[in-house]
Amino acid sequence: MSASTTIEPSVEEVEGYNTDALITVLNGKNFGLNENEIQIIREQGIDGASFLMLNEKRFKECNIRIGPRAKLVNWNNNLNNQRQGDFPNLNSLKDVVEEIVRGLDFKMEQGFNKIRHAIEEAIYSPGTDLTGTENGKTVMDKGTHIVFPLKWTTSSKRSGNERFTNSPNRNVDPKEEEVQQYFINECKELDKTSNIKNKLIVVDKHSSPSLGTRKSDFLFISKGSHLNMLNVVAVGEIQKRGSDNFNSAQIGQAISFGEKVLQLQPRRTFVYVILTDSIVINIYVVHRVDQNTHSNPTTKFTYQYITPAFLEFSGSNDADNTGWKLLVTIMESSPNILGWVEPSLKFGNNTVNLVRSIGVGRTSVVYQGKHDDALIAVKVAKKANYLPCFEKEYTALNDLSSLNSIHIPKILFNSVDALVISQVCERIGNLRKKDIKDIISTLEKVHSLNYVHRDLRKYNLVRDQLGNIVIIDWGYSIKLEGNHNFAFAGALECMPDNILQSIVNDDDINYGPGVDLTCLVHSFYLMLHRPSLDRIPFDKGDDIKSRAQMMLNFWMDCGRSDVWDNIYNAIEILDYDQLIQQLERLF
């Protein structure tokens, strides 16, 4: 790579840019945007997420000239195409698809809507297994009241803005968005004033997700750093109070953002959480406690809270201005005082620096790391509860390394809660024809060593820098040695009928190589017909039987034709070559 080569940001990175970050990137590219066009982007509040939604017509409405507009559209399309991947040639699929459609006596859209509803209920839940209200009650009932532990600020502000004296909800009942914007504007003024020696700035995030799928209202990051979940120092939520105090649901929601930060930042043990309505400020400290007993490792959260205080700064001599000082003290504090830890990991004499988060799964966070100037992937457990998965994954990958396959990750370093993989891969949108043979041939070799992946789905298929498909996430894999009965694990929406029926009937679940092959075929089917369909998690405390029955009904109505019957017959007799041929027909 030459010195002039730059690394293109991923669509996920661009989606997380605020307006200033987006403008910085645009200025660094040869798009030919003039000052007026840059100012339009700033005035219109176009951030990374909204930029990705714009098309040629919208850019024209923003009075972007045709030359720069064409370049912006091209870059925008390239970014969005990262989500799409390679799709089978639909023209060549015409006859096959028509045959499939004729075999469907089923309203597909209705079925998918039911599934999506179940998915959303399961995925968008707090960091713990408690509801927001239950979590809030836990904080107030079992949390510890403490005196503010930081050294109080000596700064003051006698006039002007940034004193929180004119909150829109002081005498009227405005929209919550107005309260949120008022608080953010006052914080921005605090950042500008010479009286405040702030080391942190407040970043407005109430309009876009910032912590994976979680959407906090604002974040504190170090002055001069860029927005990245690894750089989040403290987190905050802006809510309207219905009475004198915030209710349990509001407290629980704010606390869940703190828990999420502790899951996304390895080695961090506590984080400050701010809950405010621009009149009153509540401050909580969320602590992560890992109990790494070998038989039952768990992660628990404990909570501390400080007496709520009014946020307004009063110029009178006898005013203590406690709430204002609480906020400013946090802004003037060093990140390490607030619990932030440098994002790096040690493996013996080797240090791996974490660059950015590139994925969040149910058991882990995956980071892009750097070691000896080489980019690598680093997988870190979200909770101690998932340490057995890491042990299983290390054992499986170590055993499977004997295959010397480019389609199976190779481990560079490992610890009890982290795995360092040899290269950074990209997510796929869909499969290529070549992938079919590569995946199935690899599975045949894996099965010959008595291993079953059990979680073969779209999100566990990635592509390396050379374009090779790689099968990842072996934490739920099993080795078949006599007993084939195991507890359920895997992506429920991709499971074969016999597994789903066993869940519904409360029967023992019998795993075999065919499970991986069916999961692959089901994943491929979902990519063809509904690429945006998310998985249904299996580790939530809701009614898995009902959802298993839902998926069983779905697969009984879908993929029923001569084409798919031939595919399932090849799976049933474990004819890997025949399965390759049948699936390659679809390209």
Q: Coil, strand or helix: which one is 471?
A: strand
Composition of the chain by helix, strand, coil, percent to 5 = 40, 20, 40
pTM of this prediction? 0.66
Q: Which domain holds residue 546?
A: 86-104+428-587
245, 318: one domain:
yes
432, 420: one domain:
no
Q: Does the residue 482 lie in any domain?
A: yes
pLDDT of residue 108: 41
Q: Does the residue 6 lie in any domain?
A: no
Final residue before a domain boundary, out of 384, 406, 424: 424
Angle between helices 562-572 and 576-584 (to 10 degrees): 160
Burial class (CB in 10 A: 0-12, 13-18, 19+), 522: buried
Q: Does the residue 1 lie in any domain?
A: no
% residues pLDDT > 70 (the chain): 83
| Residue 75 pLDDT > 80 | yes
Q: Which residue has the tokens 């990705």?
A: 52
Q: Which residue has the tokens 């828990």?
A: 259
166, 217: one domain:
yes
What's the average model confidence in pLDDT over 455-480? 92
Helices (H), 92-239: 94-102, 108-123, 132-142, 176-192
Q: Does the residue 110 lie in any domain?
A: no
437 is annotated as contributing to ligand binding = no
pLDDT of residue 258: 93
pLDDT of residue 206: 63
CA distances from 183 to 141, 204, 253 (A): 29, 10, 18
364, 328: one domain:
no
47, 147: one domain:
no
527, 419: one domain:
no
159-209 pLDDT, tens digit each: 666 688 888 887 788 888 889 899 999 888 888 888 788 899 998 876 554
403-431 pLDDT, tens digit each: 999 999 999 999 999 999 988 888 888 89
* 59 residue type, one letter: F
Final residue before a domain boundary, out of 424, 456, 485: 424
Quickly state the pLDDT bin for 229 (edges 50, 70, 90).
confident
Alpha carbon 389 to its chain's center: 19
Q: Please answer whether residues 526 and 116 qualify as being in contact, where contact means their C-beta atoms are separated by less than 8 angstroms.
A: no
Q: Does the residue 280 lie in any domain?
A: yes
Q: Does the residue 319 lie in any domain?
A: yes
347, 305: one domain:
no
Of residues 298 and 274, which shows the higher confidence score? Answer: 274
236, 218: one domain:
yes
324, 448: one domain:
no
293, 235: one domain:
yes
175, 314: one domain:
yes
The domain total for the chain is: 4
The enclosing domain of 539 has a CATH number of: 1.10.510.10
Of residues 548 and 285, which shows the higher confidence score? Answer: 285
Distance CA 494, CA 511 (A): 14
Q: Please answer whether residues 486 and 478 qualify as being in contact, where contact means their C-beta atoms are separated by less than 8 angstroms.
A: yes
Q: Does the residue 392 lie in any domain?
A: yes
The enclosing domain of 365 has a CATH number of: 3.30.200.20
347, 451: one domain:
no
pLDDT of residue 587: 85
Q: Does the residue 138 lie in any domain?
A: yes
> DSSP label at 494?
G
| Residue 85 pLDDT > 50 | no
Q: Please answer whether residues 452 and 481 qualify as being in contact, where contact means their C-beta atoms are separated by less than 8 angstroms.
A: no
* Range of weakest confidence among 201-205, 272-276, 519-523: 201-205
The enclosing domain of 56 has a CATH number of: 1.10.150.50
Final residue before a domain boundary, out of 290, 320, 338: 338
396-407 pLDDT, tens digit each: 999 999 999 999
